């Protein structure tokens, strides 16, 4: 079955070019030129969503927020700004990767193919232990890839789940940001401190009772992070 890609971007010329390149690689592509138009579609039917930040009617960050309420489908964000703020904002909202315009088609296709591989692995992934992890107020189930906090299911993206499961599986062990990156991101992209910090921040907001005083994911200043040995 062809992998399905949704592009949400108001640049019609760019959309035609990306569509042609992806279809040449055997991918099925659908285009929406505004956020509301894209959100009318069933986002879970796609393997990747390519999402521009600068959109009419509804900006890409707001569109991403709505997508994450429905799905953990990988999202590649496009921005015309080489802005650290845009990057971190997108990652915190659940984006999986981003590209700054203008970009090369080769780089774009490499990112798309990488996200497709990760999506396929995610949907077929099983952990060797295949055992639930239980902590005070927190349950992590690797078979169903679900997380419960105080008996309530918490929605995590695929990468957020991988990050939480990795840390929780090594309770008490301290990892540097680079070690976490190598284990969870598998060297797909260049190492980036802000990427790791953005994911940790988003994860804490979802699983901690108070993200400013975390009891599960602890910061070891000057070193990295660990999952609390005492919970």
Task: Please check whether the domain covering 133-227 is classified as CATH 1.10.10.10.
Answer: yes
Q: Tell me whether strands 28-32 and 97-100 are parallel, antiparallel or unpaired.
A: unpaired
Please tell me whether the peptide bond between 179 and the residue prior to it is cis, using omega within 30 degrees of 0: no
Give the per-residue pLDDT at 68: 84
CA distance 167 to 160: 11
Return the domain boundaries, the chain. 4-123, 133-227
Which CATH code, of 3.30.420.40, 3.40.50.300, 3.40.640.10, 3.40.50.2300, is assigned to 4-123? 3.40.50.2300
| pLDDT(24) > 70 | yes
pLDDT tens for residues 109-121?
Answer: 998 988 887 766 5
Average pLDDT, integer, range 43-68:
91
pLDDT band at 94; cut points 50, 70, 90: confident
Give the per-residue pLDDT at 124: 53
Give the per-residue pLDDT at 28: 94
Same fold, 4-123 and 133-227: no
Sheet holding 217-220, edge to edge: 175-176, 224-227, 217-220
Give the per-residue pLDDT at 126: 47
Give the per-residue pLDDT at 59: 93
| pLDDT(179) > 80 | yes
CA distance 223 to 175: 7
Give the per-residue pLDDT at 22: 94
Determine which of 3-17, 178-192, 193-207, 217-231 has the lowest per-residue pLDDT on average.
Answer: 178-192
Q: Residues with Cβ < 8 Å from 40, sequence gap 6 or more?
A: 32
Determine which of 38-42, 101-105, 182-186 has the lowest per-residue pLDDT on average.
Answer: 182-186
User: Does residue 185 or residue 155 have the better pLDDT?
Assistant: 155
Least Cα distance to 92 among 205, 187, 14 occurs for 205
């Amino acid at each position: 079955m062809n992998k399905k890609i949704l592009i949400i971007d108001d640049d019609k010329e760019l959309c035609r070019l990306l569509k042609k390149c992806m279809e040449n690689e055997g991918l099925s592509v659908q285009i929406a030129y505004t956020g509301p138009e894209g959100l009318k579609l069933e986002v879970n039917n796609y393997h990747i969503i390519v999402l521009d930040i600068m959109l009419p009617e509804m900006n890409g960050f707001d569109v991403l927020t709505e997508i994450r309420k429905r799905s953990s489908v990988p999202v590649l964000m496009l921005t015309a700004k080489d802005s650290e703020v845009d990057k971190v904002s997108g990652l915190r909202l659940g984006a999986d990767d981003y590209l700054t315009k203008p970009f090369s088609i080769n780089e774009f296709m490499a990112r798309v193919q990488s996200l497709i591989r990760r999506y396929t692995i995610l949907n077929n992934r099983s952990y060797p232990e295949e055992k639930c992890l239980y902590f005070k107020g927190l349950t992590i189930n690797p078979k169903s890839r679900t997380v419960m906090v105080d008996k309530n299911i918490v929605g995590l993206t695929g990468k957020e789940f991988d990050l939480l499961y990795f840390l929780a599986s090594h309770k008490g062990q301290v990892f540097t940001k680079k070690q976490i990156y190598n284990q969870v991101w598998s060297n797909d992209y260049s190492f980036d401190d802000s990427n790791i910090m953005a994911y940790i921040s988003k994860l804490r907001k979802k699983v901690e009772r108070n993200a400013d005083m975390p009891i599960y994911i602890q910061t070891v200043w000057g070193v990295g992070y660990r999952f609390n040995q005492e919970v």
